[in-house]
Amino acid sequence: MNEDHLQHTIEHKPTYGIYILVWLVLLMLTGVTVAVAGINFGNITVATALTIAIVKSYLVLTFFMHLKAETATFKLFVGVALLFLLISIALLFSDYSFL
């Protein structure tokens, strides 16, 4: 059992505070995205909404999904999956030049 105990600890000291803070930031970003949606920025309206969504996802992945505490190999593992999604998006956008 001993060797297994070494690798199943996600982080050393679990605390409630950090997650509540992340949640507050997520709520704030939701407020921003709703408020901004009413304003017409023209072409960058979608970009703004997506940027906020990406920031929110980053926070969920890093803190709620504990990626922050995972090893570099693990992060690479997740990164490769995201990279492939990014490649599909890039290839699609090269086919449909969204201009």
Neighbours of 70 (CB within 10 A): 16
Specify whether the CB–CB gap between 85 and 57 falls below 8 A.
no
Residue that the structure tokens 């105990």 belong to: 5
Specify whether the CB–CB gap between 61 and 67 falls below 8 A.
yes
Residue 87 in contact with another protein, rule: CB under 8 A: no
Query: Taking the complex as a whole, how short is the minimal distance between the CB of residue 96 and another protein, in angstroms?
Result: 6
Q: What are the residue ranges of helices labelled H in the chain?
A: 2-7, 17-37, 44-59, 72-95
Pattern 45-84, binding to another protein, x per CB under 8 A?
xx--xx-xx--xx--xx-xxxx---x---x--xx--xx--
**Among positions 7, 42, 72, 94, the unique one binding another protein when judged by CB under 8 A:** 7
DSSP single-letter state for residue 12: S
Question: For binding to another protein (CB under 8 A), which residues are involved?
Answer: 1, 4, 7-8, 10, 14-16, 19-20, 22-23, 26-27, 30, 33-34, 37, 45-46, 49-50, 52-53, 56-57, 60-61, 63-66, 70, 74, 77-78, 81-82, 85, 88-89, 92-93, 96, 98
